[in-house]
Structure 1
Amino acid sequence: MTQQLAQRTGVATLKGNPITLVGPELKAGDTAPDFKVNKDLMTEVTLKDYAGKVKLISVVPSLDTGVCDAQTRRFNEEAANLGDNVVVLTISVDLPFAQSRWCGAAGIDKVITLSDYKTKSFGQAYGVLINELQLDMRSIFVIDQNDKITYVEYLKEMTEHPNYEAAIAAVKALV
């Protein structure tokens, strides 16, 4: 029997319209839940693949939208100054083919794009899966070398930008 995941209503909108997020609301201090996402069509990765690193996880609904594009480009620029002990992951439900194509066209070379398309494991574990759209809600997670969450930002409105400065400051505080 599968466990019913929590559904959170009244916490997020898309252009002002309410959406339902599936999964728990994580907070700073929580242990980061494991997940399984795709690096490419056949290669799956988990949180443990980035063990010992500070992880900035930038979650976007789709790289082919303006805010998601800008968010990923911004973190790609910032990643160059964060050092070798930091990995910046962008997670969306875009197919790995689309992510690869987008990265090539955008010149993204520091951020690792990962796809939650197959099982939505990340979206459910981190409480960002949008029930109505089966996309992951824009959010930011900073996770330390010991897999403790130190910073969380769940966006209230999907079309808004995250607080880039606060996320980068949270990463820098760990390195």
Structure 2
Amino acid sequence: MLDQMIARYGRRLYGLCVTLCAGSSIEPEELYQETWLRALERWEQYDSARPFEPWLTQICVNLYRSSLRRFLRSPIWNGFSTGEEKERTLESVAAEEQEDYTALRQAVENLPDRLRMTVILFYYRDRDLEETARILAIPTGTVKSRLNRARQLLRKELADETDLFL
């Protein structure tokens, strides 16, 4: 049964992992594997009367949040006097990445984490307001306000982009 779920939802889940992990030090492959492991561990908790993909997405988002919190609390991350010093050090250690992102993709990555996750789920993963709220464990009204705030910030950051209509 799990093999069928991986075959059916694996690509979309991996895409979500890549999108969530963009711009962070969390590896999308690790998040992907951890999500499937957690789903397997909690298989008995899955309500087969409900759609599987939102359940799996919620597991992924929760694992991402936990990983991000652990990373930000680590002594390596917090041992720098300034954010710039931290960035220089991380860039010198990290492998070179080719940037082929569009201006919009970059702007979304620069959003605060709570807004970025909301945008990713709603726009990139085509979740409706209720599903996004359920996955993030917040009220639907909060999803609406976060999307509104994200659009405002994106408009401001992309003011020079004439071909982008938000």
TM bracket (short chain): under 0.3
> Larger Cα Rg: Structure 1 or Structure 2?
2
| TM-score, normalisation: structure 2 | 0.24
